[in-house]
Amino acid sequence: QYFKQATLRDESGDVIKNAEGKIMRPDIIVEYPDKRKVIIDSKVSLTSYVELTSAVEQTDQERALKKLMISIRKHIEELSDKKYPEYGSELDFVMMFIPVEGAYIAALQTDHNLWADAYKKNVLLIGPTNIIAALRIIADMWEKDKQSKNAEEIAKRGGYLYEKFVGFIKSLEDVGSHLDKSKKSYDKAISQLSDGQGNLIKQADDLKNLGIKYNRSKQVSSKFVNSIDDSKNLPENEE
């Protein structure tokens, strides 16, 4: 994303001022995915380039070209002197935009060291053609950053889902263990009711036959007794 004529602010949101106490307000600020910012400046004077294109005599052309080079180098120094990187680690370098492609090409062809000298001062010379390429690269970086964040979120949610799945399996194992213990307790209780000479069902039945007094409506369920008998008659599981 980018901001036009935005006031530079520090990480706390306070306005950044230069050494003279003036507010710093670049033409355009482009923000990278990692929060670094690139400043685009387009204030270079191209009056001398107009003179160059309208000049007929070679001497006039040479004079205009010399003025153009002086103007461009002067602006490089001015941008470098603003020392944008010193006001925040997120300010990487300054793009000095020369809006006329012819002026940009003429400057680079005239002075082969111009681009490298500017770069050493954290100033990147760009024209109409390569500014589009630069902005596309930044846009691609945004898209890749978005995809990277999506991948991180997918990995995070995948890890969370796996942890939940492991917890579910553990709970399921606990349920199975408790069911197994409950089955053993149930079988033990049934054994106490029905197995052996002194089992509870036989003793209760003997007491009834001895003539104890009890509410006739209170009877052991024949269905329950039959189910116990049936379970005792089941064949044992083969090993």
What per-residue confidence (pLDDT) applies to 117?
94
Q: Give the pLDDT of residue 229.
A: 57
| Residue bearing the bigger pLDDT, 222 or 112 | 112
Give the C-alpha separation, 49 to 62, whole Å.
11
**pTM tops 0.75, yes or no:** no
Integer Cα distance of 103 and 44 in angstroms: 11
The mean pLDDT value for 97-109 works out to 90
φ/ψ bin of 5: left (φ > 0), alpha (ψ from -120 to 50), beta (otherwise): left
- Residue 77 is predicted with a pLDDT of 92
Q: Where exactly are the structural domains of the chain? A: 2-126, 158-215+223-229
The pLDDT of residue 197: 65
- For residue 129, the model assigns a pLDDT of 86
Mean pLDDT, residues 107-118: 92
User: What is the pLDDT averaged over residues 166-190?
Assistant: 79
Q: What pLDDT sits at residue 114? A: 93
The string of pLDDT tens digits covering residues 6-54 is 777 766 677 777 667 777 777 888 877 767 778 888 888 888 888 888 8
Residue-by-residue DSSP string for 85-145: GGG-TTEEEEEEE-S-HHHHHHHHHH-TTHHHHHHHTTEEEE-HHHHHHHHHHHHHHHHHH
Residue 196 has pLDDT above 70, yes or no: no
Query: What is the Cα–Cα distance from 177 to 190, expressed in whole angstroms?
Result: 20
Percent of the chain predicted with pLDDT > 90: 13
